[in-house]
Chains A and B, each alone.
Chain A
Amino acid sequence: MSKTSRTVVSMAKTATRGEVVPIRVIVQHDMESGFRHTERGVRVARDIIREFICTYDGVEVFRAELHPAVGANPTFSFFTVATQTGTLEFKWKGDNGYASSVSSQLTVTG
């Protein structure tokens, strides 16, 4: 599997100040648990995403620590408070040097 992969972030582009904004992210990844075997009984090595971080203008809003029990193509839905116009950055890190990141702009009015 490639070291980066497809990511999708769904979030509103604009919000009024103080509004709680829902965010949904999904990343393409097999999340090989390390508990499966081939037909010859050889254990398949673990290859998962370990960490997901969402920052808003550099301030950490939400972070997740993933274990093999997280399903393939990990998705998270969470919230943030719209404080000011700025950039939200989403970063994934995992086994075998996996890294992926995407950012999204949020315009705050009022």
Chain B
Amino acid sequence: MSTNRRTFIAAIGTVSLIPWLKTHASESEATEAIQKIVGNKSLQTARVTLDISPLVENGNLVPISVLVDSPMTQADHVKAVHVISEGNPLPSVVSFYFGARAGRAVVSTRIRLLTSQRLWAIAEMNDGSFWQGHANTLVTLAACTEDILI
């Protein structure tokens, strides 16, 4: 594909606009997302461990795991775990829902991080109580930066 002068200048225009556009969620948006999940229940800080490398070289594929301290029986188990980001374009990262037969409230996956930030994990128990844990991470190379595709 050939790039002529006109499209090149148009592209420069777009690129120079980027710093003025809001690119990531703020702390308050994350708090709002958490508020939406929890509602008017109280949120206690314990039982939830969010495991992430403190220094991430590449934000495109970051392994995380969430561990909730629960016996995982029919009477007492984790219903859901929500991962919330303070620095990504959207505060919601991923939500996990467990059945009573999940055995262990441990789950791992790989996520994208736009910038150095704090991540929250909110666990909802079957008795309706909410628990939270958090982790901080430093990202040296952000996800979503490789914009040029075609």
Contacts and interface: CB of A to CB of B under 8 A. Distances in A.
B103 A80 contact: yes
The contact size tier of chain B is 35 or more
A97 interface: no
A79 to B, nearest CB: 4
Contacts of B88: 69
Contact of B97 (A44, A65, A67): A65
Interface string A72-84: 1011111111010
Contact of B98 (A62, A65, A71, A77): A62
Q: Which DSSP category, helix, strand, loop or mixed, fits chain A's interface?
A: strand
Interface centre among A70, A71, A79 (most CB of B within 10 A): A71
A61 B102 contact: yes
A76 B109 contact: yes
B85 interface: yes
Contacts of A69: 85, 88, 90, 92-94, 111-113
A70 B93 contact: yes
A71 B94 contact: no
Interface of A: 20-21, 33, 35-41, 44, 56, 59-72, 74-81, 83
Contact of B10 (A41, A60, A70): A41
A36 B10 contact: no
Interface string B85-122: 10011101111111101111011111111000000000
